[in-house]
Amino acid sequence: MTVLALLGVAFVSALVPVVNLEVYLGAMALFRESGGWWPVAGLGLVAAVGQLAGKTLFYFAGRGVITLPKRFRKPVLEAAVTTERPRRERTVAAMKVWRQRVEDRPWLSVVFVGTSASVGLPPFALVSVAAGALRIPLPIFLIAGLAGRWARFVTVLALVQVSTG
């Protein structure tokens, strides 16, 4: 039951910015019995899978496959798409340049997605949309995103476990 709750909270936190998964994970680590490092790795993986399931919706929105509901569209897509003509043209030109860079250097997409997924800068929701718009292959997005999110969540769990002794 704990794993399903974690999966659900992780999915919701991917879509709703005010739901903080790191705080939830920290509370889980505080109130559960220490079982070694394998449970930490497992819980980190569950959290990463839930988060990535939600962020994949942003990826598909960036690809144009789905349209996000209005409440998600405004904060996430407003920065990427603007109605101002000169700014929109600059954005389109920049996207073409970055799409070419990503196609020429596949490792760049792994670094781009993986860094954002683990560190959170730039925000992973925006990177997910950008990854879709840049046509980064879905398997690369999923693998790099999962690895980055897993590293982030295992770090949170491990830090809480170490600090509580």
Q: How many domains does the structure of the chain reveal?
A: 1
**Cα pseudo-dihedral 116, 151, 24, 138, rounded to 10:** 50
Tokens matching residue 129:
């949309």
How distant, in Å, are the alpha carbons of 74, 96, 103, 127, 158 from that of 110?
Answer: 27, 18, 12, 12, 25
In this structure, the number of other CB atoms found within 10 A of the CB of residue 100 comes to 11
43 SS3 class: helix
Q: How high is the pLDDT of residue 72?
A: 58
**Omega into 139 within 30° of 0, i.e. cis?**
no
**Cα pseudo-dihedral 151, 157, 161, 162, rounded to 10:** 30
- Structural domain including 53 reads 2-164
At which residue do the structure tokens 């897509």 appear?
77
d(CA 85, CA 119): 33
Instruction: Assign 79 a pLDDT band (cuts: 50, 70, 90).
Output: low
Share above pLDDT 70 across residues of the chain, in percent, rounded to a whole number: 86
By the 8 A CB rule, do 47 and 149 touch? yes
By the 8 A CB rule, do 155 and 127 touch? no
pLDDT per residue over 9-37, tens digit each? 999 999 998 999 999 998 888 887 666 77
- Say what the pTM is: 0.84
Q: How high is the pLDDT of residue 1?
A: 66
